[in-house]
Amino acid sequence: MNASLPIDFPVASTAHLRSRTALVLHGGGGPGTVAPLAGHVALHRHVLTPTHPGWDGTDRPDNITSIAQLAAGYLALLRERGYTDVVVIGSSIGGWIALEMAVQAARAEQYRTSIGAVVVIDGVGAIVDGEPVADFFALDARELADAAWRDPHRGYIDPGTFTDEQRAMQLANRNTMETLAGRNMSDPTLMARLDAITVPTLVVWGESDRIVTPAYGRAIADAISGAQFVEIAHAGHLPHLEAPDATWTAIDPFLADI
């Protein structure tokens, strides 16, 4: 399943090893959606913030056609560059990648020390009875803002204001997401595999998320031994953007304790 990723991860240096490394993984909206999150975590940790292959004009290798393959590629890259005990923090699809990385690392001896902890923020990927993932690909811009944001006015961007270049990039990002995550943005095997995760895990969820509900998030946390679940008030699918202070209050003690 391993595949080489066209991502320029730095080699782990002595300076990097003085502080624990965090790998911050973005969702379908691209790397800009996790920039404030990465910036906050970087106050105390060395942070890696890759752009997933196929997003924002980057190349995607032909053999990366699933989230599981992308997760395997990230694990291989961490090992190749000498990173261990990494805190993987993922938003939305990034949360799915983080969970998949943790499962794969728990099951493969060569990656056993790669992942030290996981933070999932409104992640997709699992199938939870009675709590379907919203049909992202059927939503227009207004409907997506309504589903993803507690205050849709903050999240809505009029597509009519896009340049041709921005429109083409958005379409390419969307096509990449559909290729890797599928139309349903889920893996029917994921939920049953989450019990393999033994590293400390925090699941953070916006109370007003209508892409994946808080009940969906609690089910993910319940499937992972010892996982903590925190609901963020006044926030939707991207609590680190809508309610950053409350999100930091949830994340910081977890990161300080691991």
Residue 19 pLDDT > 80, yes or no?
no
Whether residue 73 is contained in a domain is answered as: yes
Confidence class of residue 8 from pLDDT cuts 50, 70 and 90? confident
Say what the pLDDT of residue 16 is.
57
Residue 124 has a CB neighbour count (10 Å cut-off) of 28
Residues of the domain holding 196: 14-257
Residue 221 pLDDT > 80, yes or no?
yes
Whether residue 7 is contained in a domain is answered as: no
Mean pLDDT of 193-197: 98
Whether residue 96 is contained in a domain is answered as: yes
Per-residue CA distances from 254 to 71, 219, 247 (Å): 23, 20, 11
Residue 160 pLDDT > 90, yes or no?
yes
Cα torsion 196, 126, 7, 121 to 10°: value is: -90
Mean pLDDT of 124-144: 97
Confidence class of residue 10 from pLDDT cuts 50, 70 and 90? confident
Residue 151 pLDDT > 90, yes or no?
yes
Per-residue CA distances from 248 to 10, 96, 204, 219, 234 (Å): 26, 20, 10, 22, 14
Residue 17 pLDDT > 80, yes or no?
no
Say what the pLDDT of residue 4 is.
77
Residues 223 and 191 sit within 8 Å (Cβ to Cβ)? yes
* Distance spanning both ends of the chain, measured CA to CA: 30
SS3 121: strand
Separation of alpha carbons 115 and 92, rounded Å? 19
Residue 12 pLDDT > 80, yes or no?
yes
Query: pLDDT tens, 44-89?
Result: 999 999 999 999 999 999 999 999 999 999 999 999 999 999 999 9
Mean pLDDT of 96-103: 98
Confidence class of residue 20 from pLDDT cuts 50, 70 and 90? confident
Residue 113: which of 125, 123, 105 has the closest Cα? 105
Whether residue 227 is contained in a domain is answered as: yes
CATH of residue 249:
3.40.50.1820
Q: State the chain's mean pLDDT as an integer.
A: 95
Residue 30, burial from CB neighbour count under 10 angstroms (0-12, 13-18, 19+): middle
Residue 22 pLDDT > 90, yes or no?
yes
Say what the pLDDT of residue 2 is.
56
Mean pLDDT of 159-169: 94
Separation of alpha carbons 193 and 220, rounded Å? 11
**What is the domain count for the chain?**
1
Separation of alpha carbons 211 and 132, rounded Å? 9
Residue 124 pLDDT > 60, yes or no?
yes
Say what the pLDDT of residue 9 is.
87
Separation of alpha carbons 211 and 206, rounded Å? 10
Say what the pLDDT of residue 13 is.
67
